[in-house]
Every structure is written in C-alpha cells, then in structure tokens.
Structure 1
Amino acid sequence: MNPEHYDFTLGINLTPEEQDLSVLFSGEGRPHPGHTVGPSVHDFYLIHTVLEGGGLFQSDTFSAECRAGDTFVIIPGSLFSYKADLETPWHYAWVALQGIGVLDLLRAVGITREQPFMHSDNVAELHSLYERIRHAFKQSAYPRLESLEASGWVRLLLHEFGRDNLSALPPHPSEMPEMIDRQIDQAIRWITLQYHQQISIDHIASSLGYHRVHLSKAFKQRTGLSPKQFLLKIRMDKARELLGSPLTIEQVASSVGFNDALYFSKQFRKHSGMPPSEYRAGLRGGY
C-alpha cells in the first residue's frame, strides 16, 4: 500500500503504442489529510476525478477547490500542485494519457490548458469507467489487447465528460450549424461511404427527415450537384481508381454499385468520354 494513502490501486499499460491516444496507467486512491503533490510538471496528461471529499488543485493558469464530481486535468509542461483537504480528504480516480491526439480530444469535450476543469453530477458512471480502464490491465497474455480495451474506455470517459461539460457551456456558433447543414453533411457522408450499395436518394431523404425535393435543393446549393449527380461522380472517381487494378470490368462495376456491367460502361463513357476498357488501356500506356 502507498504510505501516503489509505487505499491505493493502480493498473499500468505494458504496451502504450498508439500514437493518437494511449493510456499509460490508471489508478484510484484515498490520500491522507493534507497530502500534497507538486509543485511540479509532467510530460503526460493526467486526469483526476474527485469521487468523495475534497482538495485544492492549482496550475499555472487555474486554481479551484474541488469536491465530488469535479475533474481536473494536468497538461504536459504546466506547473501544477494539488493538496487533499485537511478535514475531508478526497477520494479520487485518475488516468494518465499520452499521444498527439489527446489535446484535441480534450478540447472537443471543453477542457483546455486555460480551463483544465469540469464538473459532473454523474459520479457513479465516471467511477465505473475509471474502474474499467484500470481493470483492463489485468496482465493477461495479450497486453496489446489490454491497451486497446483501455483506450476504448478512455474514449467513453471523455464522451461522458463532454456530455456533462458542453451542456453547461454556451455553444460556439461554429459548432451549432443549421439542422439542414448537418443533414447535408450526413447525406454527403452517407453517399461517400455507401456508394457501392444500391442507394436510393428517396431513402436518404426520408431517413434524414426531409422531402427529396427539399434535400436535393439544399444539397445542390452546397455541392453544386444534385445527390444523384454527386453519387455518380463518387462512383466514377472510384471506378477510375479501380481500373488501374487487376479487377475485371464486371468486378469494377460491381465494386462501385452497378449490377449491370453494360450499364456501368455506358455511364462511364458518358462521364469520362471513353469506355472503361479504353480508359484502362490508357493507364497501361496504350495511347
């Protein structure tokens, strides 16, 4: 047991290899009254959530008395210190992170270097997520799988932070687009990812809660193309890529959403000015 804590548990990642977000370790403790850490700096991110009791957190940009439900984040390179309350010392859980994507993920949930603090009323859910992170490191025969599991739980923890933190903040105009703009974004994403399927523009419109005519008009204003034209463009662009591969014309047609290879060839010729076989010959130096 850690001599400065009544209770102390820790899980350590043996293979912290992911570049965007990697969990280094996670723990939970009940320090003694007045227990102090710092002033010091870390070269990793360290998130603490107070489960019970309280204490004081200070950084070079922020200071706060913390109570149950409060979370404070230590940013790499920031000078910090924290101290358990003398009467009711905190019981907290923590997780240490590293990676090039961590700061952007924290910003996405409303945590910044200037405001490394948030509050949640859902302490039980946060506590459960910390436990799952820590228990992922059960030192099995598959440490890389443990690392993947822990990273997944951390993303859910950050999601929980975002739900609580962002709802308490005034929305930024750039993050609150008009509903039709969001639906157009979804339609674009839908077509871009599902071009190989038998996509119905009517189905997309109804799924997004819009009449086809209304959606098509807004879609064309955004992209310069109707949804049908945009779908054809995506398919033809992908077909040109695939024609450089060993796939047959029939296989290329099927891969970009055409069940009929002859109809695909007709559409490709109309869109590209030549049949797919001639386009392929050009790629192979046939001109």
Structure 2
Amino acid sequence: MHSGNWIDLAQDADTGIETLRAHFKGHAYDPHWHDSYLIGFTETGVQQFRCRQARNVSTPGKVFFLEPGEIHDGDAPTAGGFTYRMLYLDPQWLEREVGALFEEAPADCQLSVPQVLFDDTRMAAAIDAAFQAVHGQDLRIVRQAALDELLGGLTRRLHWRKRVDNHPRLPLAALRARDYLHANLMQDIDLDDLARAAGCDRFRLSRAFKEAFGLPPHAYLVQLRLARARQLLGRGLAPAQVAADLGFADQSHLGRWFRRAYGVTPAYYRQRCSKLPD
C-alpha cells in the first residue's frame, strides 16, 4: 500500500453492512465491482473514479452511489490524496427495507441508481450519521434509527426498475458467456470452453463480452472470484483455504488481486469482518 494510505473497515453483525473509511494518495484501486450497493461521500481532497463510461470527480461533501456489479476504479489526481467514508449495503437487505417504506412495492422489480455522483447535504449528513452509529457499534436502537433515516433519504434517489434476465441490447453470446462464468467460477476455464458455451469463436466473443460488460472475460472471472472471496473471508475462512477453493494459484496470488481491487489484504479483511484473530 502507498505510504500514507490507510483503511478502517468493519462489518455489522445484525445487517451485514460493511463500513469503510479510507485515505488514498495516487492510484487507489483497479477496476472492480462489488455485489453490494455502495453509498458514501468524499470527506477531503479530490476523489476520481471511472464508472458508467464516464470520469467522475468527487470533491468534499459530494455523494456517490453505485449499484451492485458496476465497474469502477479510483485514484487521487491531486497531491494530498482524498479521504472518504462509505457503506456497503446488501441488495436483499436494502430491497426488503426500502420495500417496507412503500404501501405497495412494485412486483418483479429491483432498485436502481439513476445518478452515481451528486450534491445532497442532507444525504451526506444521513450517511455520516449511519456510518458513525454502525461503525462505532452504537446501541442497536441508535443504529436502527440512523439507518432508517438513511433509508428515508435513499427513497428520493432510488428508482424501481423491472427485472430483466436478458438485456435486449446485449448480444446473446456475451450473455451466455456471462452465465457460464457465473456457473463455473471455481473451474479452470479457458476461452475455448467459454466460446463453445457462447456459440461463437473466442475472438468475436472477447470483443462482444468487453463491449457488453466493460471487462474482458478473464478479468470478469477474476472479479467474480474476488467477490466470492470477500464472502468467504467474511465468514472466517482462512485466506489460504479461500485461494485454494477459488482456483487461485496460491495465497499470494489471491492477495495481489485482492489488494489491487480493494486496497487491503485478505487477512486484514477477514480479521475486520469476521472478528477472528489474524
């Protein structure tokens, strides 16, 4: 990790919400995604990230909000770096909690985020209060009240979107390949396997896949494995076991990819989320 960078991470046992406060200088992390909703704000400095094929620049007080699966990176374009705080919200928890705020939540829909970066002082204050209550392990009733306040604010920023299994604008070969990767993420897959499953040659598949999902198939598979690694480490599995289970060459190989994506080592993540000794 770059000298001067730091990360403070915790996980709430009741909700599964992860809380993160961090400071980065220079390059923060490579393109990656999470299987959670990400909601946070920049405290100090200039935070720059690419998401939805656009460069976003967040300055103090600006709120960022990303959907599960959205590819993003991060870096500090100015010398002092940037500090931010953020909550990772489990999609099932969020949809259940937000759905309860509506008299009749629409059927067969999922929550979507129309805008990834915006100015909203009330939202930033609600994120801050929720972060402090959850990260500081305040009384359960205090944590619940702060999260309820945040959820009320999120209803102004979230939209309901009809669930679609196969997006009509994405090529069928890319969709087949994606489904194959999800079903076989622990296997030693090669591009020929993937091309056979997708029904086209591997060169056409690689181009179509990257255009559809923003990453080539091999990088997408790594992200799938890293997302699963977070889950397993959070449950307390040892990094060496996780590396072996997910098809990484060894623990150090998992560690290199994990640090590039999340800025922390697998051992640190496991210790902070599972509360087990390192």
TM-score scaled by length of structure 2: 0.43
The higher radius of gyration belongs to: 1
Q: Larger RCO: Structure 1 or Structure 2 (Cα < 8 Å, ≥ 6 residues apart)? A: 2
